[in-house]
Chains A and B, each alone.
Chain A
């Protein structure tokens, strides 16, 4: 990102943010509530237009349209992207096809410990179970860049451990992860860079 300036409404959230990130890095975006962490992640994903500045992925401008055409991006927002009337398996199957990923959904659910409830409508799951089901997407292959907005929200310690392992494995394999979190998230054997707003 170059000279990135983001605003919400008339309020400028942050200005002139410069950073270059490479493969094999884990970056934690820090800042108090309201500083614009979510806005930053959404801008990096291409969902929001920056007020000024550019975001480039592999040399291509993210907002020009086709930077992530190979499906390089996995974005996990505050919401789980799980329709309450469908089961976790149904939701994730649709998402997998839409994002062009490969991988076993049930294995992913098993990793996060929610495979036994994968066939119930998501409205019957607790907040933690839903979050874990949404995180199962991380176990699918195909995305090199992960933008995770508060992935550890509503997770207990065991689940956070699994999450840390998964992120660590991805980084070790050459992926790039940017995330925000309010809870302690330990990523074993991986130095975590900090990006402060």
Chain B
């Protein structure tokens, strides 16, 4: 447990030192959403019907673009091999790192989503469900993404390959997350997909760190 907290503290400290990151996420989200209507007719009904897909695609893309900072800096400065040699279970350390990563990324998305919803004309009563679905879904994106990053860590230009590996695994999150948002926008109960998202989150928290730890060992061989 102490190792988990030590890892978390260290990564949060790093996050605080690199404050620019959080702002980037906000800007990315807003920019993507602002650009989209320019590519089509900005009719309210059209934008509203596409809002869930748009928000989730933004979340997916932001996750993919920022996943690199999860392990690559540690690989480069030699910390990663020390983590592999530590007494704490590597899976626990991975969980701590993903938690810190999410606090600086996915959480930002959750907090900015009401503003984005406003831009897309989402009705006010749908906002809580939107935030909740992002709250449940973005950690899963980080956890699954960690596996992908760990697998491609040894490669020089891993960006597109990472997307190819990770996108199929993101499909359930996209489906249930967007499904929940859609239901809320139409005024229907969103409990079903939200429960599925929680299930995915629990599964990811328990299994993904183990897979990512195994992948890290393989990549560093």
Contacts and interface: CB of A to CB of B under 8 A. Distances in A.
In the complex, are there CB atoms of A and B closer than 8 Å? Answer: yes
18 contacts: A45-B85, A47-B84, A71-B87, A77-B81, A81-B79, A83-B74, A83-B77, A85-B14, A86-B17, A90-B10, A91-B79, A94-B7, A97-B3, A97-B6, A98-B86, A98-B93, A100-B86, A100-B87
Contacts of A84: 77
A interface: dominant SS: loop
A81 B3 contact: no
B3 to A, nearest CB: 5
Contacts of A45: 85
A154 interface: no
Interface string A71-87: 10101011111111110
A49 B86 contact: no
Interface of B: 2-3, 6-7, 9-10, 13-14, 17-18, 73-74, 76-79, 81-88, 93, 220-221
B21 to A, nearest CB: 12
A83 B6 contact: no
Contact of A83 (B14, B85, B86, B93): B14
Interface in A92-123: 93-95, 97-100, 121
A35 interface: no
A75 B81 contact: yes
Contacts of B17: 85-86, 121
Given A75-B81, A80-B77, A94-B6, A85 B87 contact: no
Interface of A: 45-49, 68-69, 71, 73, 75, 77-86, 90-91, 93-95, 97-100, 121
A53 to B, nearest CB: 15
Contacts of A80: 77-78
Given A69-B87, A75-B85, A82-B77, 19 more contacts: A45-B85, A48-B221, A68-B85, A81-B82, A83-B14, A83-B73, A86-B10, A86-B13, A86-B14, A90-B10, A90-B13, A94-B10, A97-B2, A98-B7, A98-B82, A98-B86, A99-B86, A99-B87, A100-B87
Contacts, number: 77
A69 B87 CA distance: 6
A75 B83 CA distance: 11
Which of A81, A91, A100 has the most chain B CB within a 10 Å cutoff? A81
B82 A95 contact: yes
B87 to A, nearest CB: 4
A80 B86 CA distance: 15
A73 B79 contact: no
Given A48-B221, A83-B14, A83-B73, A98 B81 contact: no
A98 B77 contact: no
Contacts of B84: 47
A46 B79 contact: no
